Structure 1
Amino acid sequence: MSNTPATAAVLVIGDEVLSGRTRDSNSGYIAQYLTNIGIDLKEVRVVADDEAAIVEAINALRARNTYLFTTGGIGPTHDDITADSVAKAFGVGIDHDPRAVAMLRERFPNAADLNEGRLRMARIPFGADLIANKVSKAPGFRLENVFVFAGVPSIMQAMLDEVGPTLAAGVKVLSESVRADAKEGDIATPLGAVQKAHPGVAIGSYPFVDEGGFNTNIVIRSRDPEALAAAKAAVEAMLAGLR
């Protein structure tokens, strides 16, 4: 494990997500997966099926993070342009990869079934490593620090399971939650003072409404268990002083 946490970004690709027709669950799944292995997710971005937008986002996000995970746009239809966009972002060619074709033939042994549309899923940028897909055989791929996953959640999850052991795991972020029994505005100033006194700990306040009215959960996060415990004690002492 690394003491310096790796960072990551998620790029969700698809008009259907931006239109609201499809709800993105992949970014949340990836976020939880990365948190559990000590990798800090820094950004999630959603872009349309537009080559220029995809290329710009890939180059921006891969440059400032250890890893970039993309989801969507590697299927058999005309608007699945992620693979071509990744190739353009890296300035490399793209063609049918014999390894990917072989994987598809496992699912479609009848040559007539492996039509032009399905063969699009075997188009892989030059220099990429394939990511196995135990669900439907059509592979994802990795090019440098960019991992390209399918958009279907079950397939995306299978691909993430494949690459997970290769990622630079770090120290897991620990968290504690304290119910304030107070409105967020009433604790804002003293909570800010607690945060200032514990700079190595992330402290957030999250309002909610229950049968008693407006309330707040305070969440404390740190990789250092002693620092976490000290910050939690300070939060509890602050709340007790307000009551």
Structure 2
Amino acid sequence: MPGDSPTAAVLIIGDEILSGRTRDTNLNTIARFLAALGIDVLEARTVGDRANQIVEALNALRAAHDYVFTTGGIGPTHDDITADCVAEAFGVPLPEHPDAVAILEARYGDDFNAARRRLARVPEGGSLIANPVTDAPGFQIDNVFVMAGVPKIMTAMLEDVAPRLRTGAVTHARTLRVSGVGEGTVAEVLGPFADRHRDLSVGSYPFGHGSDGEVGTNLVIRGKNADAVAAALAELWKALAEAGIAARPVTD
């Protein structure tokens, strides 16, 4: 689906995600946030708290996409190494940011200890991302946005990120639901249709389990032009009907 919309990738950092102890919801939140701005998320990776993996993944993603969003690993403990890894990836020092120090001193007062001072470290050349929940800031350096892993905090940080982003054309999506029919049945109709509409994204997503609920397939058409998406939906609906396959449009 060609277009000139900005692209983005998400890098989720943390052993707790890979171990299954913590369920990640940040990818979904970021993807929805960016979709509303017309920014296409094209890639997501999850890595543990291992410096070489973080640096390697970050360098690959920031070279391939307009924006990279990282979540996790910017807390006060020894295993919070994201800031260190970002500085290494960019080849810059990791000093304390004076504005971050001031913010944290105001919050913690006499409890602003050595561990909490780690929260003030920002790669040289970086700017702060406001954190209205706990005050401890994230940061931006070049096209990389480094945010907290706690979903409530990460979501709040996005408010400060939004004005910094170049927006694009929003992707429109329309869905046809085919009930009682699996992907194999619709494939003969869907394949030629997708070939005729290479400017659109055409996907097939089965649902149900066959024993305790409705079984079928959702056919989703996505594109930057709402009229083109609507026309394609009507064409696919007709083609399915001609093949004896009943479908109905649904609201996404």
Q: TM-score, structure 2 length as denominator?
A: 0.92
Extract unaligned runs of 5+ from structure 2: 245-252
Q: Work out whether 1:178 is the aligned partner of 2:176.
A: yes
1:119-142 deviations in Å (ceiling 9; x for gaps):
111111111011111111110000
After the TM superposition, which segments of 4 or more aligned residues of structure 1 sit over 6 Å from their partners?
none
Extract unaligned runs of 5+ from structure 1: none
Structure-2 residue corresponding to 1:6: 6
Tell me the amino acid that sits aligned with residue 184 of structure 2.
G
- Distance in 2 between residues matched to 1:17 and 1:231, nearest whole Å: 39
Structure-2 residue corresponding to 1:70: 70
- Distance in 1 between residues matched to 2:230 and 2:150, nearest whole Å: 40
Q: Work out whether 1:169 is the aligned partner of 2:167.
A: yes
Q: Secondary structure at the match of 1:226?
A: helix
Following superposition, the deviation at residue 117 of structure 1 comes to 0.8
Tell me the amino acid that sits aligned with residue 35 of structure 1.
A
| Deviation larger for 98-107 or 44-53 | 98-107
Q: Secondary structure at the match of 1:80?
A: coil
Q: TM-score, structure 1 length as denominator?
A: 0.95
Structure-2 residue corresponding to 1:89: 89
Q: Any conservation in 2 of the 1:104–1:114 contact (CA below 8 Å)?
A: yes
Following superposition, the deviation at residue 185 of structure 1 comes to 0.5
Q: Secondary structure at the match of 2:122?
A: strand
Q: Secondary structure at the match of 2:202?
A: strand
Q: Any conservation in 2 of the 1:71–1:156 contact (CA below 8 Å)?
A: yes
1:90-144 deviations in Å (ceiling 9; x for gaps):
00001222111111122112x2x11111111111111101111111111000010
Q: Any conservation in 2 of the 1:105–1:114 contact (CA below 8 Å)?
A: yes
Tell me the amino acid that sits aligned with residue 231 of structure 1.
A
Q: Any conservation in 2 of the 1:200–1:227 contact (CA below 8 Å)?
A: no
Tell me the amino acid that sits aligned with residue 146 of structure 1.
V
Q: Any conservation in 2 of the 1:6–1:40 contact (CA below 8 Å)?
A: yes
Q: State the identity as a percent.
A: 52
| Deviation larger for 159-168 or 78-87 | 159-168
Q: Any conservation in 2 of the 1:180–1:239 contact (CA below 8 Å)?
A: no
Structure-1 residue corresponding to 2:232: 231
Structure-2 residue corresponding to 1:217: 218
Structure-1 residue corresponding to 2:197: 198
Distance of aligned partners of 1:141 and 1:185 in 2 relative to their CA distance in 1, 3 Å threshold: same
Q: Secondary structure at the match of 1:60?
A: helix
- Distance in 1 between residues matched to 2:218 and 2:106, nearest whole Å: 51
Q: Secondary structure at the match of 1:94?
A: coil
- Distance in 1 between residues matched to 2:242 and 2:213, nearest whole Å: 21
Q: Secondary structure at the match of 2:95?
A: strand
